[in-house]
Amino acid sequence: MEKLDATMRVLRPYPHVFAFYDGRIEGVRAYSSEPNWLDDGAYALGICSYAIVDGAQALVYDTHISLDHARLIRRTLEAEGVSSIRVLLSHCHDDHVAGNAVFADCEIIASAGTLAALTAHREAMENAAPPIKPLVMPSRILDGDTTLQVGRIAVEIRHVDIHSFDAAVMVLPESDLLFAGDTLEDPITYVDEPARLKIHLDDLARMGGWNVGRFLPNHGRADVIAAGGYDASFIDATRIYVEKLLALDGETATAEQDLQTFAAEIFGSGAVTYFAPYEDVHRRNVEAVIGRHSIS
Ligand SMILES: [Zn+2]
């Protein structure tokens, strides 16, 4: 069987940043032709993990979608002379933690919310298709916002309640850079906690107030990531889309619109780019918000 990481690309948006990008390849699936979390939730949309590196130290931001992917990340860093690896989990979702076992001998850092969610969903994740087994749990739990030093690079880890209640984003003040996890996604956010969307809007505004210049998401365009990331209009695009979802109440005609029509404003602004596989994400988002079915 072909290894799952056969199409992974290693990008270097900055000298001290590695981006491990896979998927978003038309007609290609990595795991199975059957519906599954790896292909439908990550690979088809494009999925990117990161590492911040200085000298012999590295901080890996999410362990990617399989052990093969995680091994490639580790191999790449070790080939660069890294001998000390820590991991930070952006949040609890499967496509961000599936490679944890490859870093079982490293410190794996996460928020208390991420630990609680992984504990609650461990059995389901270990028995999913594909299974994440064993699910290696975080070994260090963040006590509020925390600054780490990766070699000479200061990394500020901040908790935000966007996309998922447990999200941890990273700010590199000296590089004017924010690693967004799934809090920002090109073209649209994935609504997994529809009841919390108003809270997500509040925290998007708070994140916008940090005045960071560049943003690197875990789901976005490889060419934009390789070129250094998105600008702050990415936050506005996310806000506008979420506001439109929240205004759907009783708006039957708008709820029927496809993504290209529904979100024409954000595509017109150039902040994000229409991508057809997100039609399914949008349909699911609309259904989640108007309550046709609930999402676990
Ligand atoms: Zn997620």
From the CA of 81, how far away is ligand 1's center (Å)?
31
Instruction: State CA 202 to chain mean position distance.
Output: 19
CB 66 within 8 A of CB 98: yes
The Cα 171–Cα 158 span in angstroms is 8
Q: Is residue 64's pLDDT more than 60?
A: yes
The C-alpha atoms of residue 208 and residue 162 are separated, in whole angstroms, by: 12
DSSP state of 39: I
Provide the 10 A C-beta neighbour count for residue 45.
23
Residues 76-125: tens digit of each pLDDT = 999 999 999 999 999 999 999 999 999 999 999 999 999 999 999 999 99
Class of residue 53 by CB neighbours under 10 A (exposed 0-12, middle 13-18, buried 19+) = buried
Q: What is the pTM of this model?
A: 0.96
The token duo for 289 is 């918000």
Half-sphere exposure of 46 (CA within 13 A, CB side): 23
Give the pLDDT confidence of 141-189 residue by residue, as tens digits: 999 999 999 999 999 999 999 999 999 999 999 999 999 999 999 999 9
Q: Are strands 107-110 and 140-141 parallel, antiparallel or unpaired?
A: parallel
CA 233 to centroid of ligand 1, rounded, Å: 21
CA of 55 from ligand 1 middle (Å) equals 30
What separation in Å is there between the alpha carbon of 164 and the centre of ligand 1? Answer: 7
Residue 3 Cα to ligand 1 middle (Å): 24
Over the chain, what is the mean pLDDT?
A: 96
Residues 171, 156 contacting (CB under 8 angstroms): yes
